[in-house]
Amino acid sequence: MSTPFKRIEPKWWPSRGAWLVRHGGHTTQFEPIVGSKKAPPAALALCDTFNAALETGGMVVDAETGTLAAVIEIFCKQLDQRRDVKQSITPKYCRDTKRNARAWKQVRTGFEGTGRNRKPIFAPRMYNGKQVGDLMVRDLEVADVTNIFADLDGGYKTKKNKIEALRCAIDCAVNLGWCNKVFARGDKGNTSNAARAVKHEQSTHATTEAEAEMEGALERIQTPDIARLCDEVVKFDRPRYKQDKNSPDGRYNLSQVAWCDGIAVVFAIHTNLRFGEQAALKWKYVDFDNSLIWVRTAAREGDAGVQTVGVTKTKQSRRSVFMTPTLKKLLAEWKMRSPWSGDEDRVFVTREGNRQVSSDNWRTRVLHRACDNVGMPRCTWHQLRHMFASIAIAMHKPSRDRKDDTWSTLATLMGHKTPAETYSTYVHCINDLAETQQMGNDFDAHLRGVA
């Protein structure tokens, strides 16, 4: 006989003019249907989901109540709700997080089919002779989660996403009252979530000497090196000619018109726009009169891998960025020769006039070749933002004090949420050589008793 429980129903709140669904201390709001006094289907569906969780232990009935499999599927259903109903997360984030959560109960053993029909084959993950998905959440110990976690595939960042997905999933079990034990969580107190008591440490000391040297190679790049890189990449935009060997005079014919691939690299360094922001930029947001770039939209991956253009990553990402004279001249020249130069056209397009969907082409065909030509270590597209930041820090010279107002200025330029984010990311770029050399002189003088 099942335990009786109070069913959850949507309630109409006149003061808000909306239907509310409350469960586990959380409130979800739904807009009413015009001309109808009934609760919207989305609110009813969410209530059915919660009631199923209370009655069967999960949002799906094919998992046993209280098992890890049920917890993970509850979490995945809630992600679908956040994506489809509240639209608070992107389809890509929803898809990746669900994959990371389900990785705990199944392992990929191979693929079947070919081409577009190629699909991965999954098998249940085993632990102590039992399927991981069949383990009861109330019986999970920190050691169990640690051992299963050690068996997961992936590098540090991938495994970090997987452990975080499990932590969020077990939080659902805590809200349902399935976890009774309390685990120590360092200085942060206690938790009923065994996954939150698991430490995930990066194996920094396993790094080889060559890898350690490569990690610091980009930090040693100086401003003149970045200037030489900008000069090198624009050479890729020159028109190309091919000799016609069948002509009597061996004339050269135009084989490829001048394009904007090199300008795209210069643009990324001079403006620090993320690739999605740069790919979505339209000519109407290039303000030549005031030498400004207005960032208003960004491209991102949507359903089924199809890219869409929408809001920027954060509210702070909606910003204006200064346009240097060098970049202004290059953009003006590109607009003059571009076949797509209307206000509603994208600034950076393919030769077919389509929007750029990936930085891979620019990175491998232009950026990496230019780095090789000037003798610089190859870098990723996102690291072009770090080049901008290093130059901005050299210009504004912020102190190592977190409360320095200069960090707020840099945060606005970078489109970060808070100055703390900018500080934690780029404080290592500060390298006051004069101060360091003076400290060395003072140390030596003190050692010899001169001071």
**What's the mean pLDDT when you consider all of the chain?**
84
- Rounded (5°) CA angle 39-45-46: 95
Count of residues for the chain? 451
Q: So what's the pLDDT on residue 389?
A: 85
Q: So what's the pLDDT on residue 412?
A: 87
pLDDT of 55 > 70? The answer is: no
Residues 178 and 265 in one domain: no
Residue 46 lies in a domain: no
Residues 386 and 336 in one domain: yes
- Which residue has better confidence, 169 or 240? 169
Q: So what's the pLDDT on residue 169?
A: 92
Residue 374 lies in a domain: yes
Residues 135 and 248 in one domain: no
> And the tokens for 448?
């010899």
pLDDT tens-place string over residues 420-449: 888 888 776 666 666 677 888 888 888 887
Residues 190 and 232 in one domain: no
Residue 110 lies in a domain: yes
Residue 28 lies in a domain: no
Q: Identify the domain containing residue 244 by its residue range.
A: 218-396
Mean pLDDT of 42-56: 69
Q: So what's the pLDDT on residue 312?
A: 87
Residue 380 lies in a domain: yes
Is residue 29 a contact partner of residue 18, using CB atoms and an 8 Å limit? yes
pLDDT tens-place string over residues 127-153: 998 999 999 998 899 999 999 999 998
Residues 136 and 234 in one domain: no
Residues 194 and 222 in one domain: no
Tell the burial category of 40 from Cβ atoms under 10 Å away from its Cβ (0-12, 13-18, 19+).
Answer: middle
Residues 240 and 382 in one domain: yes
Reduced to 3 states (helix: H, G, I; strand: E, B; else coil), residue 212 is helix
Is residue 278 a contact partner of residue 262, using CB atoms and an 8 Å limit? no
For the domain that residue 389 is a member of, what is the CATH number? Answer: 1.10.443.10
Mean pLDDT of 378-387: 88
In the sheet that 11-13 helps form, which strands lie side by side, from edge to edge?
A: 11-13, 18-23, 26-30
If we measure between CA atoms, which residue out of 140, 161, 49, 14 comes closest to residue 97?
161
**Where would I find the beta strands (DSSP E) of 44-182?**
106-112, 119-124, 126-127, 130-131
Q: So what's the pLDDT on residue 61?
A: 39
pLDDT tens-place string over residues 328-338: 999 999 999 99
Is residue 334 a contact partner of residue 323, using CB atoms and an 8 Å limit? no
Mean pLDDT of 269-295: 94
Residues 64 and 197 in one domain: yes
Of 352, 378, 396, the residue at which a domain comes to its end is 396
Residues 260 and 119 in one domain: no
Q: Is the pTM of this model over 0.85?
A: no
Q: So what's the pLDDT on residue 148?
A: 94
Residue 5 lies in a domain: no
Model confidence at 56, pLDDT cuts 50, 70, 90, reads very low
Q: Report how far residue 162's alpha carbon sits from residue 75's, in angstroms, rounded to the nearest whole number.
A: 13
For the domain that residue 79 is a member of, what is the CATH number? Answer: 1.10.150
Q: What percent of the chain lies above the pLDDT cut of 90?
A: 31
Q: So what's the pLDDT on residue 168?
A: 92
Residues with Cβ within 8 Å of residue 12, at least 6 apart in sequence: 19, 20, 32, 39
Mean pLDDT lowest for which of 2-11, 84-93, 247-256, 342-351?
2-11
The alpha-helical segments, DSSP class H, found in 136-274 are 142-150, 156-175, 209-215, 223-233, 261-271
Q: So what's the pLDDT on residue 281?
A: 95
Residue 323 lies in a domain: yes
pLDDT of 86 > 80? The answer is: no
Of 156, 175, 203, the residue at which a domain comes to its end is 203
Q: So what's the pLDDT on residue 341?
A: 92
Residues 254 and 353 in one domain: yes
Residues 194 and 228 in one domain: no
Model confidence at 215, pLDDT cuts 50, 70, 90, reads low
Residue 337 lies in a domain: yes
pLDDT of 60 > 50? The answer is: no
Total domains, the chain: 2
- Helix count (H) and strand count (E) of the chain? 16, 16
Residues 71 and 130 in one domain: yes
Q: So what's the pLDDT on residue 447?
A: 84
- Which residue has better confidence, 220 or 279? 279
